[in-house]
Structure 1
Amino acid sequence: MTDRKPCKVCNFTRQKSYGLVVPSLDELKIKGGEFLGFSPSELVTVVLEDDGTVVEDDVYFLCLPLNTKFMLLREKDTWSPGRRIDGGTAWMARDSMILETDAVDSSSVAAPWWNLAQQLKQDLASIILMSEADLQALVDAPCPELASALGLQEKKAKDLQETLQRVLDRREEERQSKELLQLYINTVNKENRQQQNPSHHSQGGAGDIDVLEEVEVDSACGFMSRTLRVLKGKTSPETRLSTEELQMIVTKGVEAMEEVLGWDRVRTSALLQACETELTRRLQQVQAVQSIRSNTRPSNPRQSSQKSTEEAKE
């Protein structure tokens, strides 16, 4: 018995794990495969469970410490690091985080969106804390496999992906709004400098006179100069305007905007249609966020009442 080595074996999902005593690497493959339910005819590769190092000969096998844990891989299986949820508490939730071997193939288990799906399954509100790359990974995940990982029907998984896409769109809009705000601040600072230095302004060329005339015209039509610059000079300007600006444009109508922009009816109508579509989409995003919040509220009426009271105080 002194030439036999106690060790442990598991499959690539780490769901199944067994202890055994074998004298050689070949015996490890045979007995380990039997415990794990492998077919005797299948080609098996042995790797170290903790780092994926391939074990190819008996010399290295016998040099390893007692009770080393090995992972047995079939032809289509791949090694992946053990999943961690919360630093040192990964062991507490590992059983609930592992998919059945026959439910998802090895490529699905190793997919980068899998851990994100499990995190989302634990707490839907974690969407708020996910990066744009994480959200995009979930949106791009195959819908049937995502539904299986979340334990949802495929239609619900599809609805979830559409909601996540709207969250991504909203973050993009917020980024664009910040850029527009910075442009507005720069414009105000420039105008303030011109007012503080009237002598320089009076000696300016025709370009300075045009700026003044533009500000006066903008003020008369109710739009800031920045808004008109965006409308006239940007691609897809409706995505760069605030909701308030979109509402103002839609309210004024085609004829008023024709006069403001100096465009023909066709071009102005296309712009208003794009602004109206964008405004409708943003309202739908607000409804989607409200829907997510309502789905994550506590089921206990007493907790809901307490939360409503706290929100009312705020």
Structure 2
Amino acid sequence: MEVTGSAGAPEPGEIRNLKPCLLRRNHSREQHGVAASCLEELRSKACDILAIDKSLTPITLVLAEDGTIVDDDDYFLCLPSNTKFVALANNEKWAYNNSDGGTAWISQESFDVDETDSGTELKWKNVARQLKEDLSSIILLSEEELQVLIDVPCSDLARELCQSCATIQGLQNTLQQVLDQREEARQSKQLLELYLQALEKEGSILSKQEESRAGFSEEVDAVDTGISGEISSEITLTSQILTALKEKTAPELSLSSQDLELVTKEDPRALAVALNWDIKKTENVQQACNQELALRLQQMQSLHSLRNISARKNSLPGELQNPKRARQDPT
């Protein structure tokens, strides 16, 4: 990549806010670093730096990652620093380049790419778009989705959300806090379960429960021989959800809100057969998932309410400008 200095000196007394950008021609990998205060200046520098014939003007600037045409100065100023641009001369059409990165590969009909890498990239971008539409949806994300956004390079996430790196760093810190809070809740629940188990042993309750469970298991085994195949075929949960239910200490904290809803709607008998659990344990897990889902929805409603209150407070000063008051009679 070649870095080119600013062309032309500013007028005396003129103050310009320059945005660093990366320029290249179509079908080219060679990039040039430039700084411009507006789109017109960037177009002019593109002609000079990329040696574009003046007869091929006008120059159209598009985002290198997906071919979006940038023809508005306000939008240009909102883009992050070092955004990649492709300069198109006359009627030239944008073409995807492997060095662009971003989401441009989605519009490409066919080219070789590693399936695992593309799937991971698509996943974090889909989650990022959810946050862009509504930041409070952080509450509804699964632990896996939270970790995916935390692991994304700050510059890539900033480009996707059209925010500064400092803002995105703060967002990733918040995501890490949410993830840590869920881990703390899981550990607290695990400690509580250990404490309850200790109480059961002291009160000789555990032996009675074992006897009842043994009798129940024999009954379930007898019933399963006739209907287990039929019930298991009714399970609609994915293997990923079933694995989380089996292996996680507090699975309700690991699942997304959508997955929690699926678990709560599942038939307890069918779920018990699929997980090889007894009915009581299955119902307890479904109840925990239902409580976690209700808590998240309540948090979402609280955030929306606070947002509405904040919006009303912000509009209040404008409404109270030049208030009309009745004059008091001096007598």
User: Which one has the bigger helix percentage?
Assistant: 1
Compute the TM-score of the two structures, normalised by the length of structure 2.
0.31
Structure of higher RCO (CA pairs closer than 8 Å, 6+ residues apart): 2
Compute the TM-score of the two structures, normalised by the length of structure 1.
0.33
Larger radius of gyration: 1
